């Protein structure tokens, strides 16, 4: 089986910087592998059989190769970086278009396209299903379990109020739902193996994408403005030594809703 | 002013003859080939099933109410299901629907994201709405991107505020874990958004009638669903709790977790926690609030011994009210709580327990 896992680099924790056009400033902010992507990659690596091939791909600036390096340390076999100045500022639609072009150009025989549920910086969770539509394949969201069966797979999906099992044909898009709060650790052998492997960089022209199909020019959504969230909380600070008084205040809040 | 949106039409000018910019009748000031004439709002109405009875989720009523309030065009609803769904018509009309497209297809009785999106694309082609909205539910957030990709338009996820300027929709959504708010426009039609549950009020009217049409879906239904079972964990999901007592690193003793559980049960609340409690192994991941845990929006969030990291805040900033109990007056949580109590969380929980026992009257 050939797996393609799409991952994203996200700015580390609370270091939010905003560009003039409202996009996030990523240069200079330490980037980490999005935990949802890491979890999805981990699930595939845990279930891989001998002979399976796991390829990771990300779209981002040149420094995004760091997260690909980490993916290979965790156990991925090969890595592609889709990188081009013209891709900057892509919204989910333009991102999906570029990723679709990549898959069709480089790994058209992928048996499964794997995503995390969402990223922690964008929170949209839209790209997997836009890619699925562009490729014309089925999509499986909120997957909690995936196993091989017959020619394809069987997935268990958790919609919150409903859990269901579906047949997953080869070539489908699968998005895992979870995240591992502890993260994964790369083994020493994984690190040594990754050190010898290179990252293939692919640019816009190599994927046959026009200037107006990607990046800010190819994005139908436009961020007009971003602003920091100003607290609208009453923010009443009370120094209380007596726990009973505090408990009374809390129960008062609970009763007054 | 006249009712023309965009102001590009001068043939119906309302008497400002002296305006030097006035063009001869029939001539457009600006000919924009991409100017859409799309109008109205189309909403996907999900159906919750409980045995034979059907129910419209609150978020759909909220989205319909929002659509009615901001748009002077028609509001269209799309609903999938058999004849039992007709029982929902009056409710849909009451919340502002003008026209219901009822897709009656036995194959679509179970949720089919690919076919639902494909079918709705056909209806969008028929209606040509300016805006397509759905609730940011698990299913809405799966179907909307698929539909947006078919329609080759933009999609904004999880909006908390919407407003219309003529046919243009301004969408506002939280970004980067709720630390930023972004105002987003879409340059293509229809403009699509998913709407965060609870972001709008549901406002019923006394209207009970409207137009209903059956829609025949001709396309394929590819997905093979092997089995479906409702998840009957009841109120055990922290996302459903109206009150959360949330424990953090300031809780030093494992017995406090049981104490919090007992207090929560008597208050009709649930217990959640921050990442450090999960790392200690005191509570399961399913109770964790935050960027790597669950995102909760209770009416009241009681943060007990939680410092309030950015990651934690991302999971609970949507709470209606926040009470923070932390001995450290400089803890970040105090910066965004409604009520900050600088005291020991475990002692407060013990006191709450005693009060709920009725030994001390809560004045």
- A234 to chain B: closest CA residue: B338
Q: Which residues of B touch A219 (CB under 8 A)?
A: 154
Contact residues, A window 39-68, toward B, CB-based 8 Å cutoff: none
Inter-chain touch B155–A221, beta carbons under 8 Å? yes
Q: Is the pLDDT of residue B14 over 60?
A: no
Q: Which residues of A touch B59 (CB under 8 A)?
A: none
A32 touches B at CB < 8 Å: no
Closest to A155 (Cα-Cα) out of A163, A146, B333: A146
Sign of the torsion formed by the C-alpha atoms of B343, B347, B353 and B357: negative
Tokens of B206: 């006394």
Chain A interface mutation, best of B135, B146, B163, B267, highest count of A Cβ atoms under 10 Å? B146
Inter-chain touch B182–A250, beta carbons under 8 Å? no
Q: Which fold has domain A2-225?
A: Rossmann fold (3.40.50)
Per-residue pLDDT, B23: 63
The percentage of residues in chain B with a pLDDT greater than 70, rounded to a whole number, is 86
Separation in Å, CA of B84 to nearest CA in chain A: 20
Q: Please, what are the domains in chain B? A: 41-215 (3.40.50.620), 237-356 (3.40.50.1220)
Contact residues, A window 183-202, toward B, CB-based 8 Å cutoff: none
Tokens of B119: 């079918």
Who contacts B342 (Cβ-Cβ below 8 Å, separation ≥6)?
Answer: A237, A238, A239, A240, B326, B327, B328, B329, B334
- Cβ atoms of B188 and B225 closer than 8 Å: no
- Cβ atoms of A211 and A86 closer than 8 Å: yes
B60 touches A at CB < 8 Å: no
- Cβ atoms of A124 and A96 closer than 8 Å: no
Q: Is the pLDDT of residue B8 over 60?
A: no
Least confident of A8-17, A57-66, B112-121: A8-17
Q: Is the pLDDT of residue B271 over 90?
A: yes
pTM across the whole model? 0.81
Q: Which residues of B touch A233 (CB under 8 A)?
A: 322, 336-338
B27 touches A at CB < 8 Å: no
- The number of residues in chain A equals 257
d(CA B118, CA B54): 24
**Residue B244 Cα distances to B156, B302, B339, angstroms:** 29, 6, 15
- A254 to chain B: closest CA residue: B300
How confident is the model over B300-321, as pLDDT tens digits?
999 999 988 877 887 888 888 8
How confident is the model over A66-100, as pLDDT tens digits?
999 999 999 999 999 999 999 999 999 999 999 99
H, E, C per residue of chain B: CCCCCCCCCCCCCCCCCCCCCCCCCCCCCCCCCCCCCCCCEEEEECCEEECCEEECCHHHHHHHHHHHHHCCCCEEEEEECCHHHHHHHHHHHHCCCCEEEEECCHHHCCCCHHHHHHHHHHHHHHHCCCEEEEECCCCHHHHHHHHHHHHCCCEEEEECEEEEECCEEEEEEEECCCCEEEEEEECCCCEEEEECCCCCCCCCCCCCCCEEEEECCCCCCCCCEEEEEECCCHHHCHHHCCEEEEECCCCCCCHHHHHHHHHHHHHCCEEEECHHHHHCCCCCHHHEECCCCECCCCCEEEEECCCCCHHHHHHHCCCCEEEEECCCCCCHHHHHCCEEECCCHHHHHHHHHHHHCCCCCCC
d(CA A140, CA A177): 10
Work out the pLDDT band at A21, boundaries 50, 70, 90.
low
Inter-chain touch A237–B355, beta carbons under 8 Å? no
Inter-chain touch B300–A253, beta carbons under 8 Å? yes
Nearest 10 degrees: Cα torsion B92, B60, B123, B167 = 100
Burial class (CB in 10 A: 0-12, 13-18, 19+), B237: middle
Contact residues, A window 167-186, toward B, CB-based 8 Å cutoff: 167, 179-182
Q: Which residues of A touch B348 (CB under 8 A)?
A: 243, 246-247, 250
User: Average pLDDT over chain B, rounded to whole?
Assistant: 85
**Domain ranges across chain A:** 2-225
Work out the pLDDT band at B3, boundaries 50, 70, 90.
very low
List the beta bridge partners of residue B109.
none
d(CA A120, CA A10): 7
How confident is the model over B126-181, as pLDDT tens digits?
999 999 999 999 999 999 999 999 999 999 998 989 998 888 899 998 876 666 78
A·B CB contacts under 8 A: 268
């Amino acid at each position: 089986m050939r797996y393609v896992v799409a991952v994203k680099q996200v700015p580390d924790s609370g270091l939010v910087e905003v560009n003039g056009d409202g996009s996030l400033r990523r240069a200079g902010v330490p980037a980490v592998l999005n935990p949802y992507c890491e979890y999805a990659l981990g699930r595939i690596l845990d279930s891989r059989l001998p002979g399976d091939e796991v390829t990771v791909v990300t779209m981002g600036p040149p420094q995004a190769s760091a997260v690909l390096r980490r993916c290979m340390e965790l156990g991925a076999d090969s890595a592609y970086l889709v990188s081009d100045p013209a891709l900057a500022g892509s919204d989910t639609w333009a991102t999906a278009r570029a990723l679709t072009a990549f898959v069709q150009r480089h790994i058209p025989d992928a048996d499964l396209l794997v995503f995390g549920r969402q990223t922690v910086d964008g929170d949209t969770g839209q790209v997997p299903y836009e890619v699925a539509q562009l490729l014309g394949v089925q999509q499986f969201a909120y997957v909690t379990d995936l196993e091989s069966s017959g020619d394809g797979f069987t997935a268990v999906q958790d919609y919150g109020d409903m859990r269901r099992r579906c047949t997953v044909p080869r070539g489908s898009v699968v998005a895992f739902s979870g995240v591992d709060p502890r993260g994964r650790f790369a083994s020493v052998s994984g690190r040594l193996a990754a050190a010898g492997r290179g990252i293939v960089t692919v640019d816009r022209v190599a994927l046959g994408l026009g200037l107006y199909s990607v990046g800010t020019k190819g994005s139908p959504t436009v961020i007009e403005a971003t602003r920091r969230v100003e607290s609208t909380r009453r923010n009443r600070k009370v120094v209380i030594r007596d726990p009973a008084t505090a408990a009374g205040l809390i129960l008062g809040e609970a009763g007054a809703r | 002013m006249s009712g023309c949106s965009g102001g590009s039409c001068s043939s119906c000018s309302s008497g400002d003859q002296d305006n030097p910019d006035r063009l001869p009748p029939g001539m457009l000031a600006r000919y924009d080939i991409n100017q859409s004439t799309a109008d109205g709002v189309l909403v996907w109405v999900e159906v919750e099933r409980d045995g034979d009875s059907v129910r419209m989720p609150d978020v759909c009523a909220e989205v319909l109410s929002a659509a009615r309030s901001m748009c002077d065009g028609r509001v269209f609803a799309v609903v999938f299901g058999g004849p039992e769904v007709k029982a929902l018509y009056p409710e849909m009309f009451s919340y502002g629907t003008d026209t219901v497209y009822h897709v009656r297809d036995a194959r679509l009785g179970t949720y089919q994201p690919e076919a639902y999106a494909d079918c709705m694309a056909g209806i969008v082609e028929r209606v040509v709405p300016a805006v397509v909205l759905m609730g940011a539910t698990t299913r809405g957030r799966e179907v909307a991107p698929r539909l947006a990709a078919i329609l080759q338009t933009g999609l904004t996820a999880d909006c908390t505020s919407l407003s219309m300027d003529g046919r243009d929709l301004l969408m506002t959504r939280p970004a980067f874990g709720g630390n930023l708010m972004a105002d987003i426009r879409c340059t293509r039609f229809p403009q699509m958004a998913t709407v965060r549950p609870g972001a709008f009020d549901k406002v019923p009217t006394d209207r009970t009638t409207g137009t209903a049409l059956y829609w025949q879906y001709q396309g394929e239904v590819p997905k093979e669903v092997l089995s479906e079972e409702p998840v009957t964990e009841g109120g055990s999901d922290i996302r459903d709790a109206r009150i959360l007592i949330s424990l953090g690193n300031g809780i030093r003793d494992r017995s406090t977790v049981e104490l919090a559980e007992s207090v929560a049960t008597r208050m009709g609340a649930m217990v959640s926690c921050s990442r450090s409690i999960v790392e200690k192994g005191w509570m399961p991941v399913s109770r964790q609030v935050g960027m790597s845990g669950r995102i909760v929006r209770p009416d009241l969030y009681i943060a007990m011994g939680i410092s309030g990291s950015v990651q934690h805040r991302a999971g609970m900033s949507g709470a209606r009210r926040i009470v923070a109990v932390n001995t450290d007056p400089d803890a970040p949580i105090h910066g965004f709580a409604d009520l900050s109590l600088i005291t020991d969380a475990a002692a407060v929980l013990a006191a709450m327990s005693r009060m709920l026992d009725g030994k001390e009257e809560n004045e």
